[in-house]
Structure 1
Amino acid sequence: MADHRETAQPETAQPGPIADERELLLAWLEHLRASLLRMLEDLDEEQARWRPDGALIGVIGIVNHLTHVERRWIDGRMLGEAVHRSEAEFSPGPELTVPAAVRGYRERGAATAAAVRSMEVTRPCADGSGRDLRWVLLHLVEETARHAGHADATRELLDGVTGR
């Protein structure tokens, strides 16, 4: 499917210095979310699901997975709600459209930010793991960065578009 146009998308600006630790972590998480969503721009439904030789995950699957990851860590691990993991989140069916995936990820991001702002960074997870909100935020930054790179590679293989 790749035509290797080798076009670069404009880079999103990195967060500047922020003294408040919680806000700094949220800013980096939002920056990474925006970078990931840029990889979905201009893709149709088929392209958003494309996987090179059936490997990796389609860009829409990455967005859907990270939406669920944030819910599991914030609503589940931090707030103690019952949440479940499903392998189906990596390969969503046609009922999840690109606009719906984008909207869901943005809504989850807003819910994450609201929940995080209501807690101290030293608040322990409700799951008894010994982790705290600071650890969870760093993990979400790490997980989002890893998958944003994955989406960048998938998009480059798909049509040559690169960028952050």
Structure 2
Amino acid sequence: MVMHVSPEARGDERGALLAFIEEQRGGIRRSLLGLTDEQASATPSASSLSLVGIAKHVAEVEEGWIALAGGPKPQVERTQEAYLDGFRLLAGESVKSVLAYWEDVARRTEEFFRAAPGLDDTFPLPDEPWFPDGQEVSLRWLGLHLIRETARHAGHADIVRESLDGKTAFELVALAHQ
């Protein structure tokens, strides 16, 4: 995946946020290196998470947050009944198609952040029991939230990959550079 972000230039807060989001996405993408669709769908750890499921979930969640903040509508809108479909390959999907979808989501996330008038612009949090009633958050908060959520799932991906074949993040970084 190619992103048009680089380390922070002095005063480029948007670029810094986007670079950190991309860095965490890269950890999840690397966890899929060298795996077949079947291997990437395996659930070798105590949880029911698979590597491709983690990637698909993170992409869908990122897309949903950008839509909530006023960006384009999600390509995929999950109902409660179809929530678990966001964690597994469905008919016609593959690791390659999930990564292509995520690349498109990442591109649209960058476009959204770059086009926003300011990072202090706000949007309301959804009406969910885990959010305070009527609270609004800034686009800066959203960028930090996406970093936190993607990093949390990158950690899950590390554990699942090590459970699958013993490969560590260090080995996967080396593999990515081959």
> Which of the five TM-score ranges fits, normalised by the shorter chain?
0.7 to 0.9
Structure-1 residue corresponding to 2:56: 64
User: For each residue in 1:65-122, what CA deviation from the matched residue of structure 2 results, as whole angstroms up to 9, or x when unmatched?
Assistant: 01111111001x1117666442310123242201101111111101100011111111
- Aligned pair 1:140/2:146, yes or no? yes
Q: Distance in 2 between matches of 1:117 and 1:74?
A: 12
Residue 45 of structure 1: which of 11, 24, 37 is its match? Answer: 37
Scaled by the length of structure 2, what TM-score is found?
Answer: 0.76
Change in Cα spacing, 1:81 to 1:100, as seen in structure 2 (3 Å) is: closer
Whether the 8 Å contact between 2:45 and 2:159 is mirrored in structure 1 is: no
Whether the 8 Å contact between 2:31 and 2:158 is mirrored in structure 1 is: yes
| Unpaired segments ≥5 residues, structure 2 | 1-5, 126-133, 174-178
Q: Secondary structure at the match of 1:67?
A: helix
Instruction: Write the mapping of 1:47-126 to structure 2, written as runs, cut at 5 A.
Output: 47-52=39-44, 55-75=47-67, 77-79=68-70, 84-85=77-78, 86-119=83-116, 120-125=118-123
Aligned alpha-carbon RMSD (Å): 2.0
* Aligned AA (2:111): A
Q: Distance in 2 between matches of 1:30 and 1:82?
A: 21
Q: Secondary structure at the match of 2:148?
A: helix
* Aligned AA (1:112): T
Identical amino acids, percent of aligned pairs: 34
Q: Distance in 2 between matches of 1:80 and 1:58?
A: 29
Deviation at 1:123, TM superposition (A): 1.0
| Unpaired segments ≥5 residues, structure 1 | 1-14
Choose between structure 1 and 2 for higher RCO, CA contacts under 8 A separated by at least 6 residues: 1
Q: Distance in 1 between matches of 2:45 and 2:155?
A: 18
Structure-2 residue corresponding to 1:8: none
Scaled by the length of structure 1, what TM-score is found?
Answer: 0.82
